[in-house]
Amino acid sequence: MAKIYLSSTYEDLKEHRRIIYDMLRKVRHDVIAMEHYVAADRRPVEQCLQDVQQADIYVGIFGFRYGYVPPEDHGNPKQLSITELEFQHAKNHGKTCLTFVAKGDAGIPLNFVDAYTGEGKKGEQIERLRRFLLTENLGSQFSMPHLLANEVLAAVTRHLDGARSIIPTNTDSSESSSKVTWDIEEKGSPYPGLLHFTRKYASVFFGRDADIREILDRLRSPEGRFMIISGDSGVGKSSVVDAGILPQLEENGLSVDESCATVRMVPSQTAHPFTSLMAGLGSMASRAGLSPDAIANDLAQDPSKLMGYLRSIIKDGTARQHLVLFIDQMEELFTAQDITQSNTFLTALYHAVQYFSHRTLSRSARTDIASSCHHSKRSPALLSSTSRNGENIEWERALCPRASGTLHDARYDHEASRSRRPLDFRNLFKSTHS
């Protein structure tokens, strides 16, 4: 069994830690946790980092608290929190790092949210760390403690059971027969389990070539401004887009002369959709000399500035001509407690899409959720006549001017292209810079 180092802040994630610890111990893993020192955030830095170094696997749980920052004379010149120090130490020593980041609806009380309590710069620090974990480190997201514990155990099991390498067999004679290898030491298991395939797995993502070609062909057509991909839960909508469509757009562009940058966002990643948007665009915004946090705050006050910011980010932060924005799990905008935020975000996105020329791509979520949103009391404000500055936006007409596609039983269902599914504009915008 493995020696696992369990890292997190303490008071805000006490219940999460207890359940994870008990579950890992039940399957006889050796779990090193701060409870072995003292049940508090102020644990001994040197001992913690030594234990991280001795562990086989690092498991990091991150909520909305940055946590205790050891003083500089304790070997912390950059003034990082102890949880970030543990993560960096694990990365620097080549440990397998399994990271899990709380969703906005994880039920963590506001008194454990640094951005709300205003404790120094810790709100900015935890948002920076969360953004890095979700975009650069491919961290998973969690909500309830028991679900998180199941995800942690599954991730640990996948890592331990993973083969040294994988050579997939391609039975389609029309595709390349070259062998593909996977470095499990560097990349971990090639099987994401119940999670969707991300760009990390693009080289070993097989079996959906016809779907990918069909979607790319439609996207590259003159009518490809907005595309909807809908289907039942688990048929592979996110995987097709994230591991199939986006990597090909990054590599090949819309055409030989039209290069693309791509970004994925999840509305519930943070408390406000504009902050979630900037979490995805953060690295590009930084390269453009802009502050993602400042942009998110500015957009919350004046959403009409989205066009200008996107223009600057595409021009100065991507070195590409076009930007593909993949909005995953967009149904969360319909079920959010603050429907005004969702309304404002979608309206600003609509105006930006109209400005950025002729192409927008959308990927839907589950068809059952799409149907429930269509009949919900909240949907008319978003789907029928969203009003901004006195202008009515008819979402069914403006965002769904063309046919949708449905993924069903691993196939691209052309029957859906003959029906209107206005609620299915669930998850993928793509706009271009002219």
Q: What is the pLDDT of residues 392-430, one digit of tens each?
A: 333 333 333 333 444 443 333 333 333 333 323 333 333
Asked if residue 44 is part of any domain, the answer here is: yes
- Residues 147 and 289 grouped into a single domain: no
Instruction: Give yes or no for a contact between 222 and 205, defined as CB atoms under 8 angstroms apart.
Output: no
- Residues 254 and 133 grouped into a single domain: no
User: Which pLDDT tens digit goes with each residue over 291-322?
Assistant: 999 999 999 999 999 989 998 998 898 888 88
What is the rounded CA–CA span in Å between residue 52 and residue 43? 13
- State the average pLDDT for the chain: 75
- Residues 214 and 299 grouped into a single domain: yes
Q: Count CB atoms within 10 A of the CB of residue 138.
A: 17
The count of domains in the chain is: 2
Confidence band, pLDDT 50/70/90 cuts, at residue 390:
very low
- Residues 151 and 203 grouped into a single domain: no
- Residues 141 and 278 grouped into a single domain: no
Asked if residue 167 is part of any domain, the answer here is: no
- Residues 133 and 279 grouped into a single domain: no
Asked if residue 357 is part of any domain, the answer here is: yes
User: Which pLDDT tens digit goes with each residue over 125-150?
Assistant: 999 999 999 887 777 889 888 889 88
- Residues 348 and 419 grouped into a single domain: yes
| pLDDT of 227 strictly over 80 | no
- Residues 326 and 424 grouped into a single domain: yes
CATH of the domain at 304: 3.40.50.300
First to last CA, the chain: 56
Asked if residue 168 is part of any domain, the answer here is: no
- Residues 244 and 373 grouped into a single domain: yes
**Residues of the domain holding 241:** 196-432
Q: Of 143, 161, 179, which residue constitutes the final position of a domain?
A: 161
| pLDDT of 367 strictly over 60 | no
- Residues 349 and 406 grouped into a single domain: yes
What is the rounded CA–CA span in Å between residue 238 and residue 330? 12
Percent of the chain with pLDDT over 90: 24
Instruction: State the helix-helix crossing angle for 122-135 and 292-301, rounded to 10 degrees.
Output: 110
CATH of the domain at 12: 3.40.50.10140
Identity of residue 319: A
- Residues 140 and 238 grouped into a single domain: no
Residue with the larger pLDDT of the pair 19 and 167: 19
Mean pLDDT check: name the lowest of 289-303, 317-331, 354-368: 354-368
Question: How much is the pLDDT for 27?
Answer: 86
| pLDDT of 71 strictly over 80 | yes
- Residues 145 and 63 grouped into a single domain: yes
